[in-house]
Structure 1
Amino acid sequence: MQTFNTSLQGKRALVTGGTKGIGKAIADELAQAGAQVIVTARNHPGEGNTAHHFIAADLTQAADVAQLVNEINTKFDGIDILINNVGGLTAPGGGFSTLTDEHWENELQLNLIAATRLDRTLLPKMLEQKSGVIIHISSVAGKLPLWNLNMAYAVSKAALNSYSKALATETASKGVRVLTVAPGATKTPPMEKFIQDFATASGISLEEGYQQLLNQVGGIPMGRMAAPEEVASLVHFLVSPAAAYLTGTSYAIDGGTLPVV
């Protein structure tokens, strides 16, 4: 019987936004598989809240990224796995007329440029060692935008998808794999706050707000949101030796939400 090697023993992994939600679940999962995990976020999660090496950094700031990479190269001599998880919805809903240049720029900085900036600084060592895996955490919004809720966010994630494919093609013959993971609705504190804010602004109950949001995306066939650990499990497989022939592809983990194949 064929067995799949999903051990990450001896691997060095960086998870951005790795102190909560999907990022924390990924960091914990990779560590359990044997990886030495580094996490970064804007603010320290507090004593006892992370078992991983923490480096504070705002990835929308080039100077912070330079300091982060310098510390990684000094202490760990590079990394083998990069999980670009930092991102989020910061622009208001309401459609095109509510979005200013600043809204667009902020969304692109957080959801696209932060990843390209970090890739650009960490890729050289991966290429030098002729091995590495980069995962971009995107969103099903990149293929299923909601004009009244997440227009700028969805556009920035669509751009991330395209960039990830281009980078994968460039590095495939050089030993570095690049993949995209696109979660749908996932039960994280930011998602719960988004639902609460939407319900409050609409003057409806939390349950009604959740149902209205589900209706806008056509529902979730599985009938529930994903757990962060389920996204982490997929990421673990993709960065492992078991997925050695996978690159340049995008994986939706959305309970069947996307209405297309």
Structure 2
Amino acid sequence: MNFDLRLDGLRALVTGGTQGLGAAVVQTLVSAGARVMASARDVSAAPVEGVTYIGADLTTAQGVTHLAQSVLDHWGGVDILINSVGGSSAPAGGFAALSDEHWLAELNLNLMPAVRLDRALLPSMLAQGAGVILHVSSIQRMMPLPESTTAYAAAKAALTNYSKSLAREVTPKGVRVLSVAPGWIETEASIAFAGRLAEQTGTDYQGARQIVMDALGGIPLGRPATPQEVADLIVFLASPRATSVSGSEHRIDGGTVPTL
């Protein structure tokens, strides 16, 4: 059976494309034949041959403008836009530990880059009558951890709701909008976090891994997802193989959220 994703020659932009999930998405797109541009604050980390990297701080309006203009100057537009940049630097300690600055930082990393970049690049997609926008949300939008992810979870919930509204507006005009909500992904950052947790709790990496899974209420699959597993789902959804899929969110969490 031939399962060509039909991505040959399509122009794809991936934000946060040098580490973790973003890097896996970039590599998967390249392997499937797409032309790829990727953004990151540090574009020197693990470059993939054939990929054009743009250095930009997407937590600022100026950084998004620089990235969008670079893409438009280089290609004139995009066929696929994958907003995967995100993360959290908020402290633990619950609601009282979160200042206005922490809240704004979470929104400026997890919501506003997608809003601003869509606004800059959607017109070219609408002009050609085709395109795909995919936002990486999180299961935290449904099950925040009050100790440490309240602001991150709220920003991701806003991203999912924004995705739904945008899909209703532009799907009739030929542009598909989707979101993917991963659970725990074993990225470099997650591995480093588990290592620090192991030191703090006097256990080994596997013990720390279990602590994280228990905090999530368990992962029935028994392990976190790999970046490649999530990237495979994202690239399939963004491909012409999924042309009837729009306006939906797709969870990939090993069964963490106990509802369909």
CA distance in 1, matches of 2:200, 2:155: 24
- Structure 2 portions without partners, runs of 5+: none
Deviation of 1:203 after TM superposition, in Å, equals 5.4
> How high is the sequence identity, in percent, across the aligned residues?
48
Secondary structure of 2:111's aligned partner: helix
- CA offsets 1:98-118 (integer angstroms, 9 cap, x no match): 111100000010000111011
CA distance in 2, matches of 1:202, 1:238: 40
- CA offsets 1:56-83 (integer angstroms, 9 cap, x no match): 0011111122121111111111110000
The answer to which of 133-142 and 198-207 deviates more is 198-207
**Equivalent AA in structure 1 for residue 119 of structure 2:** R
Question: What is the TM-score of this pair, normalised by structure 1?
Answer: 0.94
**Corresponding residue of 2:52:** 53
Conserved 8 A contact 2:16-2:38:
yes
**Equivalent AA in structure 1 for residue 250 of structure 2:** Y
Within 5 Å, give how 1:21-170 maps onto structure 2: 21-46=20-45, 49-51=47-49, 52-170=51-169
**Equivalent AA in structure 2 for residue 258 of structure 1:** V
Deviation of 1:207 after TM superposition, in Å, equals 3.2
CA distance in 2, matches of 1:198, 1:142: 23
Secondary structure of 2:124's aligned partner: helix
Is 1:218 the counterpart of 2:247 in the alignment?
no
CA distance 1:173–1:4, shift in 2 (3 Å): farther
Secondary structure of 2:54's aligned partner: strand
- Structure 1 portions without partners, runs of 5+: none
Deviation of 1:89 after TM superposition, in Å, equals 1.2
CA distance in 1, matches of 2:196, 2:157: 24
CA distance in 2, matches of 1:240, 1:119: 18
Conserved 8 A contact 1:198-1:209:
yes
CA distance 1:240–1:177, shift in 2 (3 Å): same
Deviation of 1:155 after TM superposition, in Å, equals 1.1
Conserved 8 A contact 2:27-2:48:
no
Task: Indicate the RMSD between aligned Cα atoms, in angstroms.
Answer: 1.6
Conserved 8 A contact 1:180-1:250:
yes
- CA offsets 1:135-185 (integer angstroms, 9 cap, x no match): 101111111111012111111111111111111111110000000011111
